Amino acid sequence: MHFVRERGGRIVKEDSLQDRVLARLYGSAVGRICLKPLVSPAVSGLLGAFLSSGVSRALIGPFVRSHKIRLEDFEKREFHSYNDFFTRRLAPGARRVCEEPEAFVSPCDSRLSVYKIDDESAFSIKHTGYTVQSLLRSRKLADRFAGGYAWVFRLCVEDYHRYIFVDGGVAAGTVRIPGVLHTVNPVANDKFPIYKENTREYSLLSSDHFGTILQMEVGAMMVGKIQNRHVRGDRVYRGQEKGNFAFGGSTVILMTSQGAVDPDKDILVNSMRGIETKVKLGERVGTSADA
């Protein structure tokens, strides 16, 4: 069970069947033993192969009804597999990317929490401590974000699973760090440092308005692929699609350096209270500190 807040709206307690099953698995020693095969990339790969097959189309209708997916928000076409449906594209105009130069925007539809990175390049998500060095496996790079913010955008299975560049600029090459695939549900973070154990990819963006931004995509349980499409040295624009996740929940983490971006107050207050904030792709979530 965890809490989520709509922008300017009420707090909602989320306690789905999936949440309860994961709480049982991660909350007991026996459950954590059963998890070992489930978090392996091999198992996710096998499930991914099935979900990319034509047989999996039978799952689309029940999923749409169960999660109340608004199909009118997406391109109208025939889907050849469940993964084809899962990576569907938005219809033109379904999301608006804020173009105000000082606006720092969300890269995806998600539940957002923001954490201050201290002078030692460390931050804490609930009761689990992280260092930027452990996430990136680079002390030199970690030092660049000391005193800044870590922005954790958690995607649920019903969310749109494509993500964008949050500003124009020049993108560096992608670094891949292999690992396991825990769920990114908050219950898992209470037991495992999931963001430094899970498979992840990151790249740097020399942005036009916010200095250097690090964007990391984190795979999760039953996510077979992180599919990034840019190459080193690309000039990109705000709102340009950066990539997508295959089936499952997943996370995008942004890191901004000290004095570059101020999070919107409601998001910062919610995060301090342990409440996630629901945001949409392209929505403003902060402003340039110079604004």
Catalytic annotation, pick one of 56, 106, 250, 257: 250
pLDDT computed for residue 187 by the predictor: 47
**Alpha-carbon gap, residue 206 to 92, rounded angstroms:** 28
pLDDT computed for residue 41 by the predictor: 62
pLDDT computed for residue 66 by the predictor: 87
Domains of the chain: 12-86 (no CATH), 103-288 (2.70.70)
Residue 246 has pLDDT above 90, yes or no: no
Band of the pLDDT at 101, cuts 50, 70, 90?
Answer: very high
| Helix (H) and strand (E) counts in the chain | 10, 19
Q: Which of 49-53, 159-163, 180-184, 215-219 has the lowest mean pLDDT?
A: 180-184
Residue 211 has pLDDT above 90, yes or no: yes
126-155: average pLDDT: 86
Catalytic annotation, pick one of 109, 159, 167, 264: 109
Better-scored residue on pLDDT, 138 or 102: 102
106 is catalytic: no
Better-scored residue on pLDDT, 196 or 140: 140
Query: Partners of 179 in the beta sheet?
Result: none
124 is catalytic: no
- Taking residue 68's Cβ as centre, other Cβ atoms within 10 Å add up to 7
CA atoms within 13 A on the CB side of 152: 28
